[in-house]
Structure 1
Amino acid sequence: MPTTYVTLVRHAQGFHNLTTINQQIPDPDLTPLGRQQCADLCAAFPHHEKITHLVSSPMRRTLYTCLLSFAPAAAAGKVITALPEIQEVSNLPCDIGSSPKRLAAEFEPEVVDLSRLTPDWTDKGPDSPWQPDMAKLEARSQAARRYLRDLGAKHAAETGGKEDAHIVAVTHGGILHFLAQDFDGMNFQYGTGWHNTEYRTYVFADPSGLDPEARLHETKASWRRRRSSSAAGLTETEQRELRAAVSSKIKEEFGGPTAKPAAE
């Protein structure tokens, strides 16, 4: 059975990362250092030739990180799918995206596929699925994982079950913890435990494709590359406790209900 590999990547440095006041910049661009970080990642990434799909949050800093960091795949004709489910968590101006019309004027359709965007994908109000609310964040993260799993299954079908899928998804530090269902290293000051242009590779925990949550499991090679083989991750109890702390922090900053504890 072919394997679907999902490499999750945090975007390079944006202008909103420089100072708190810059968080008021709507949908900010990458800094010069951020563009250099993309060049460094492009030079260091060992699996460009294996990439079968490029996926990105529709925000400009993630789209440019994807284009620059995975330029060989883009040059080979891999179109970037803009996936609204993996946009960033908060409702600060820096974390609210641009209209589909503006993005269409900036990115050619043969480079970025914007077809999954609706006009209200930038609405993070209380009646929106994009509101920074714990239950909604987990729901859209689950939807994103299932979308990525479906991409892998489609690739397997198209290749007669002969080729693995290698999906790269470029997104944001906050939502990455929800996508991976892993709050290890979470830094509340910065809103993430991921560094700019950090990448980690996962497979689906249930290779049958029947898991409704489409849970991901980090590969041993990815874990060793960033932590060392002797390091231990959080236990399930520690993950639940940290998730509860994240839920309280989201309620404190954005309002809304605190999520119920995850089932054991």
Structure 2
Amino acid sequence: MPTYIHLVRHAQGYHNLSKENQQIRDPDLTPHGEAQCATLRDNFPYHDKVTHLVASPMRRTLRTCLLGFSPEVEAGKKVVALPEVQELSTLPCDIGSDPEVLAKDFDSSKVDLSLVKKGWTDKSHGSPWEPTINALEARAKAARVWLRDLAAQTKDAEEVHIVVVSHGGFIHFFTEDWDGMNPSAGTGWENTEYRTYEFVDPSGQDPNASLKETHPSWRRRRGSAIPLTETEQRELMAVEKKHLEQELEEVVASQNNGGESQE
């Protein structure tokens, strides 16, 4: 069964406005971010094909999914909150809210929080959520495998179309695609940008569950440009991972030296 992953970066959150705002824990969308969601809703061409809605359990991603894909929500599709696609760092803006807080703030008829367990916000050393390259690659793989399994379990659909709303930094690990990465912005994706992916191995045997951007998605945003070769992608990935690893370590060191709490 053909499976398509429509990957979306969240709309503008308050942490996107300034460096100081990165100290806000689990920030919500700005009014401009809500307007971006309306534009996404109006321009997204696959509403009638979407079979599943999935989002990081952080406020900005859940809100983006609820607003940007309101036709699907109004038709009865729940947004499944998937911790594996949460953001990278230990900055307060990248630390989510506890499950009981989310349960109070999001309608259970619209958001499924069953996968969000106590401890999903713990990014300390040794946690599966810690901001190290190995841990990030492991949860990106886990997310891809989970989505592939979700697609395989889908019945009564000629095609599976899964919307996944995630974060600019994590998306590069999820797609294993570093083309266009802007180190100063921490991502190569704009707010509410969407791209469509499919599994490299449609048989479901690939243990890595690797993805590739579909040709129509690439042409829509890049025209006749030629994608990077596998060798070029690996070389770029090595450079960007080294830069990101250093950046994440500096964030942790700064927080430790400053005695800042993540709770």
In the superposition, the TM-score normalised over structure 2's length comes to: 0.93
Per-residue deviation, 1:141? 0.4
Supply the AA of the counterpart residue of 1:185: G
Per-residue deviation, 1:234? 1.7
C-alpha contact (below 8 Å) 1:54/1:81 kept by paired residues: yes
- Give me the whole-angstrom Cα distance separating, in 2, the residues matched to 1:253 and 1:196: 21
Report what 1:190 is aligned to: 185
- Give me the whole-angstrom Cα distance separating, in 1, the residues matched to 2:118 and 2:47: 33
Report what 1:260 is aligned to: none
C-alpha contact (below 8 Å) 1:132/1:250 kept by paired residues: no
Per-residue deviation, 1:251? 2.6
- Give me the whole-angstrom Cα distance separating, in 2, the residues matched to 1:217 and 1:247: 19
Per-residue deviation, 1:253? 2.1
Report what 2:167 is aligned to: 172
- Give me the whole-angstrom Cα distance separating, in 2, the residues matched to 1:252 and 1:205: 31
The equivalences for 1:82-101 within 5 A come to 82-101=81-100
- Give me the whole-angstrom Cα distance separating, in 2, the residues matched to 1:233 and 1:108: 41
- Give me the whole-angstrom Cα distance separating, in 1, the residues matched to 2:115 and 2:192: 24
Q: Deviations over 1:215-262 (max 9, x none)?
A: 11111110111100x201222222122211222223312339xxxxxx
Per-residue deviation, 1:91? 0.9
The equivalences for 1:55-204 within 5 A come to 55-155=54-154, 158-159=155-156, 163-204=158-199
- Give me the whole-angstrom Cα distance separating, in 2, the residues matched to 1:194 and 1:233: 16
The secondary structure found in structure 2 opposite 1:182 is coil
C-alpha contact (below 8 Å) 1:58/1:84 kept by paired residues: yes
Change (3 A) 1:24 1:211: same
- Give me the whole-angstrom Cα distance separating, in 2, the residues matched to 1:254 and 1:172: 15
- Give me the whole-angstrom Cα distance separating, in 2, the residues matched to 1:166 and 1:45: 13
C-alpha contact (below 8 Å) 1:24/1:94 kept by paired residues: yes
In the superposition, the TM-score normalised over structure 1's length comes to: 0.92
The equivalences for 1:172-251 within 5 A come to 172-228=167-223, 230-251=224-245
Q: Sequence identity of aligned pairs in percent?
A: 60
Q: CA RMSD in A?
A: 1.1
Per-residue deviation, 1:46? 1.0
Report what 2:255 is aligned to: none
C-alpha contact (below 8 Å) 1:180/1:215 kept by paired residues: yes
Report what 1:259 is aligned to: none
Per-residue deviation, 1:110? 1.4
C-alpha contact (below 8 Å) 1:133/1:250 kept by paired residues: no
Per-residue deviation, 1:49? 1.0
Could you tell me which runs of 5 or more consecutive residues in structure 1 were left unpaired when the two chains were aligned.
Answer: 257-264
Could you tell me which runs of 5 or more consecutive residues in structure 2 were left unpaired when the two chains were aligned.
Answer: 251-263
After the TM superposition, list the runs of 4 or more consecutive aligned residues in structure 1 that deviate by more than 3 angstroms: none
Supply the AA of the counterpart residue of 1:231: A
The secondary structure found in structure 2 opposite 1:5 is strand
